[in-house]
Amino acid sequence: MQNPFVIARGAKTEAVVVVATIRQGAFAGRGECTPYARYGESVDSVTQQIESVRAAIEAGADRATLQALLPAGAARNALDCALWDLDAKMTGVPAYQLAGLHRLAPCVTAFTLSVGTPDEMARAAQAAADRPVLKVKLAGAGDSARLAAVRAAAPEAELIVDANEAWRPENLDENFAACAAAGVALVEQPLPAGADALLAERRWPVAICADESVHDRKGLAALRPRYDLVNVKLDKTGGLTEALALADEAEQLGFGLFVGCMVASSLAMAPALLLAGRARFVDLDGPLLLARDRPEGLRYQGSTIFPPDPALWG
């Protein structure tokens, strides 16, 4: 990592990922995932899940079959994205065309500011003030001061905030008021998943996006009274296949889309770009937070991400 990445649940100084490679003849497809402890995952558990379906994959299991072999999560994501990449390599048809898209255009990503003191976050915001969208990590107590400091340091940037389940009923009004005062466009996952019913009881002054509360299509409709948008992350959905289906159903239910990521390399970001054109916000800045990316990684120009070279993925 370039700097420690700090959210409400703790800090990390490195990105630990798992890469699945599936070969057929001269062709190879790759997919990358990030095991996430919040969801009970580790490198060992994800590796074990991948190995548990090795025989089925080697026997020719395709993307549709894979959905029934593994649950949503990081392991299935790595394999699903590897199968998309393999299909693109074998057919010579780019993955975005296989997904029914006519083109894959550049997009603008948010840039994430870690949780810190108001002064620390103001300095980070000032350094990134020329970026069009800043994603501000929050932690509950003291968030009003953090938001005011970031807004003063980056007066022109569009702000979105991510509470990572750290707010509580007793500080919702104060924190939402601080967001409104700072001109925040969106609040991501203010309350813990499973304890967010309060969000449906009234209208809030800022749009609310579900993250930890939504993984795949199961239970999506029940979240509609609570949230305005859903954060589609491939490590939650278990790959691009379910992510595309989740996006379709979410739009049919009236949700806006937010495309997010874990901290990972460009190999993990590339498949998510197939959803970017449909999203109100894109948060695929993982490689920008790393000390180094893959040599064939995505091209970032400021906050603009350009489509992947086939050597990377798809």
Lookup: tokens for 97: 């065309």
The ranges assigned to domains in the chain are 18-98, 107-305
Pull the structure tokens for residue 175.
Answer: 């924190």
Please say whether the beta carbons of 216 and 246 come within 8 A: yes
pLDDT in tens, 192-211: 999 999 999 999 999 999 99
What's the CA gap between 46 and 40, in Å, rounded?
Answer: 10
List helix spans (H) across the chain.
43-52, 54-58, 63-69, 74-91, 95-98, 118-127, 143-153, 172-181, 234-237, 240-253, 266-276
CATH superfamily for domain 107-305: Enolase-like C-terminal domain (3.20.20.120)
Closest by CA to 204, choosing from 240, 161, 148, is 161
Task: Dig out the tokens for 59 from the structure.
Answer: 């026997």
Positions marked catalytic: 137, 233
Supply the CATH classification number for the domain 18-98.
3.30.390.10
For residue 8, the model assigns a pLDDT of: 45
Distance from C-alpha of 150 to C-alpha of 35, rounded to nearest angstrom = 30
Digit-by-digit pLDDT tens for the chain (314 residues) are: 455 544 444 544 577 899 999 999 999 999 999 999 888 999 999 999 999 999 999 999 999 999 999 999 999 999 999 999 999 999 999 999 999 999 999 999 999 999 999 999 999 999 999 999 999 999 989 999 999 999 999 999 999 999 999 999 999 999 999 999 999 999 999 999 999 999 999 999 999 999 999 999 998 999 999 999 999 999 999 999 999 999 999 999 999 999 999 999 999 999 999 999 999 999 999 999 888 999 999 999 999 999 999 999 99
